[in-house]
Amino acid sequence: MLWLAVLLALTLPGAAAEAAAPAEIDLETAPQALKLGPRARILEVSGGEPGVRDLIAGVRSADWRPSRQETLNFSFSDSAYWLRFRFTNSGDQTRRRLIVLGMPLHDYLDIHVVDSGHVARTVSTGDRRPFDSRPLAHSDFVMELSVPAGQARDVYMRLDTHDGLYDATPLWLLEDGVFFARAQKDLLLYGVYYGVLLALLAYNLLLFASLRERPFLLYGLYLAAFFVWNFTFRGYAFQFWWPDWPTLNNQMVAIAGSLIYVALTAFTNDFLELRRSAPRMRWLLFALTAVIGLTLLPALAGMYAFTFAMLIPAGILYLVFIYAMAWVLALRGNAPARIYVLAWSVLIVGAVLYYLRVLGWLPSNFVTENALQIGSGLECVLLAFGLAHKIHSLNQRQLDAEMSNAAFHKRLSLDLEAKVRERTMDLEAANARLQEMASTDELTGLSNRRRFNERFQEEYKRRQRSRAMLCFCILDIDHFKEYNDTYGHHAGDEVLQRVATLLSHHFRRAGDQLFRLGGEEFGVLLDAEAAEQAIDRVEAVRRALVEEGIPHRRAAEGVLTASFGLICARDYAAIYSTGRAYQEADDALYEAKSMGRNCLVFRLFDGGLDETGSRQAGQGLRT
């Protein structure tokens, strides 16, 4: 246990400050997040205590003492405690802050805001009052404080309990942004934490319903009890489940806390097979569980301080005993006990830290406040793993026999499946190659006419649905027959390949699609948002082909050229089918041929803005 002592030593507080707390807190210069514990002045009262107006008037003014704690912790006490703060504002505009008491289970909290000796506002809330008594609907207690420029406000806070049980009370002064950032972080962290618990709970209950193995049910009951206790302890149950029943909220902390031990005992007994492996220790465990169960009775009668004064030492004794018992069984070679020890090594540290914080022997900090969350999260996962391992071990012999009997048949089946899968993959690859060959022009590598018919129909429907512009161009190489007659068919094939390469270079957008429609004719589906953009792109290809300078003695220009017919349509009433669209582009192409070739003729269908035009040798013409 040396490592546990070291960890406990690391969480001990430093020396308390002896100096008196500062008299004032200036909101103009105060940091965004300020711990109010060290800045408070404290008055302990019991019996006939003075009211807030008596305190304002100076009654018992000599009894106020400076706080020596960053997180206020009064542990078990029959007294009530007054806290006093003075907030000023040296700035030139009103300053607003949030006073946050970060303990959801604090019984009674009365806050009085005093302006120039008069009580300007009073908030009476607490865990023993309905949830809607809180100024802000939050699991913690949050109150807004505004101080006008050049003024001051005194805040008197009275802390009291139902029967003398105080929880550690972290007290903060926060700007709105800091508070909401922390609130969102807490929601995220606890959302993940509770999500893990509920997922493990559902998983184990489903396994029980499927396998009918009792350990899964017992572990599920343990998880359910722990979830309800933690959800209540953190204030979320009061906020979301029973906001109008403060008594039930307080009782559930004790009830769920006791049920945790009962469910844990049942699970441990089954998981470690205590009836067989440790019968004497089993009865001692039952006796400790019965003592813990008896502590629930005073809680039901409203005696919470007595309940937790008994439950805390009994709980520590229980955890130490169950931990030692698991170690004994693990050293005897009990495989489930080894996993159990590992899981509880984490949780016991967290539980001990938590109980010592409640007793006031340790301060409240991130480690002690979240020790149960950190430890229990790891413990739940490890125990779930151990439970699965145990069930696996119990069924292993039967599974081994069945697997040995089925191994030969399985190997045959796997071999057959592998051969079938290999053959299927070969056939699929061959079919894919055939499909690719059937839809690709062998000479140019572009999609062929068959693929064009499929893709043109798909693109037409898609763009019609989205009211996008359809841009389609047909180009035909000028005097290609004469080129073949002059230079030979091999040279003609090379020209077709060069034209395909040129098109691929210019039409590289994601939405561009190229096709060889047949012979020397090519088709292009363009990705363009406007007709002018499509015209410019096609015209660039026409010029680039001329600049290629492919010799053609029988052409007027002396080089190879092409004619282009382009349509840009958004009016699908005019271009009512793919056949109509193709016909318009083809008509534009032949118009380009009739105009002397080496030019672009375009047609625009855009509602009432239908237009026809041409471009030739870099010149634009519209009619």
- 49 classed as catalytic: no
CB-side neighbour CA atoms (13 Å) of 548: 21
- Give first-to-last CA distance, the chain, whole Å: 96
Q: What is the pLDDT of residues 181-238, one digit of tens each?
A: 999 988 998 999 899 999 989 988 998 888 888 888 988 999 999 999 999 999 999 9
Q: Which two tokens stand for residue 63?
A: 């009894």
Q: Which two tokens stand for residue 428?
A: 């699929």
CB-based contacts of 106: which residues, under 8 Å, 6+ apart?
A: 126, 127, 141, 159, 161, 166, 167, 169
Q: What is the pLDDT of residue 531?
A: 92
Type of residue numbered 600: L
Q: What is the pLDDT of residue 16?
A: 35
Instruction: Determine the Cα–Cα distance for residues 378 and 11; give it in Å rounded to an integer.
Output: 20
Instruction: Determine the Cα–Cα distance for residues 276 and 269; give it in Å rounded to an integer.
Output: 10
Element housing 5 (H / E):
helix 2-10
Q: What percent of the chain has pLDDT over 90?
A: 46
Q: What is the pLDDT of residue 316?
A: 84
Q: Which two tokens stand for residue 593?
A: 């041929």
- C-alpha triplet 587, 530, 499: angle, nearest 5°: 55
CB-based contacts of 301: which residues, under 8 Å, 6+ apart?
A: none
What pLDDT band is residue 460 in, cutting at 50, 70 and 90? Answer: very high
Q: What is the pLDDT of residues 310-325, one digit of tens each?
A: 777 888 888 889 888 9
Q: What is the pLDDT of residues 28-80, one digit of tens each?
A: 999 999 999 899 999 989 877 888 898 888 888 888 999 888 888 887 888 89
CB-based contacts of 266: which residues, under 8 Å, 6+ apart?
A: 218, 221, 222
CA nearest neighbour of 570 among 539, 525, 536, 529: 529
Element housing 455 (H / E):
helix 449-466
Q: Which domains does the chain have, with CATH numbers?
A: 2-174 (2.60.40.2380), 187-395 (1.20.1070), 449-622 (3.30.70.270)
Q: Exactly one of 70, 175, 369, 520 is catalytic; which is it?
A: 520
CA nearest neighbour of 589 among 437, 478, 506, 497: 478
Residue of 290 and 23 predicted with greater confidence: 290
Alpha-helical runs (H) found in 162-303: 176-211, 214-233, 236-240, 246-271, 274-277, 279-294, 296-300
Handedness of CA 520, 521, 527, 530 (dihedral sign): positive
DSSP letter for each residue of 40-93: -EEEEE-SS---HHHHHTTTTGGG-EE---SSB---B-S-EEEEEEEEE--SSS
Residue 262's φ and ψ, nearest 5 degrees, are: -65, -50
Instruction: Please give the model's pTM, rounded to 2 decimal places.
Output: 0.58
Instruction: Determine the Cα–Cα distance for residues 190 and 400; give it in Å rounded to an integer.
Output: 42
Q: What is the pLDDT of residue 432?
A: 64
Q: What is the pLDDT of residue 434?
A: 66
Q: Which two tokens stand for residue 205?
A: 């209950």
Rg of the chain in Å (alpha carbons): 41
Q: What is the pLDDT of residue 358?
A: 57
Type of residue numbered 179: F
What's the mean per-residue pLDDT of the chain? 85
Q: What is the pLDDT of residue 81?
A: 92
Cβ–Cβ < 8 Å for 171, 72: yes
Q: What is the pLDDT of residue 5?
A: 35
| The most confident of 139-153, 265-279, 429-443, by mean pLDDT | 139-153
What pLDDT band is residue 19 in, cutting at 50, 70 and 90? Answer: very low
Is the model's pLDDT at 437 over the cut of 60?
Answer: yes
- C-alpha triplet 67, 115, 138: angle, nearest 5°: 65
CA nearest neighbour of 311 among 301, 325, 326, 298: 298
What pLDDT band is residue 608 in, cutting at 50, 70 and 90? Answer: low
Is the model's pLDDT at 309 over the cut of 70?
Answer: yes
Cβ–Cβ < 8 Å for 139, 231: no
Q: What is the pLDDT of residues 365-385, one digit of tens each?
A: 767 767 777 787 778 877 777
Cβ–Cβ < 8 Å for 379, 346: yes
What pLDDT band is residue 566 in, cutting at 50, 70 and 90? Answer: very high
Q: What is the pLDDT of residues 127-150, one digit of tens each?
A: 999 999 999 999 999 999 999 999
Cβ–Cβ < 8 Å for 169, 95: no
What pLDDT band is residue 100 in, cutting at 50, 70 and 90? Answer: very high
- C-alpha triplet 4, 330, 227: angle, nearest 5°: 60
Instruction: Determine the Cα–Cα distance for residues 294 and 261; give it in Å rounded to an integer.
Output: 12
Q: What is the pLDDT of residue 394?
A: 64
β partners of residue 471: 526, 568
Alpha-helical runs (H) found in 509-595: 531-548, 578-594
CA nearest neighbour of 390 among 348, 346, 340: 340
Q: What is the pLDDT of residue 112?
A: 96
Residue of 19 and 161 predicted with greater confidence: 161
Q: What is the pLDDT of residue 361?
A: 80
Type of residue numbered 339: I
DSSP letter for each residue of 225-254: HHHHHHHHHTTHHHHHT-TT-HHHHHHHHH
Q: What is the pLDDT of residue 613?
A: 66
Is the model's pLDDT at 533 over the cut of 50?
Answer: yes
Instruction: Determine the Cα–Cα distance for residues 359 and 76; give it in Å rounded to an integer.
Output: 8
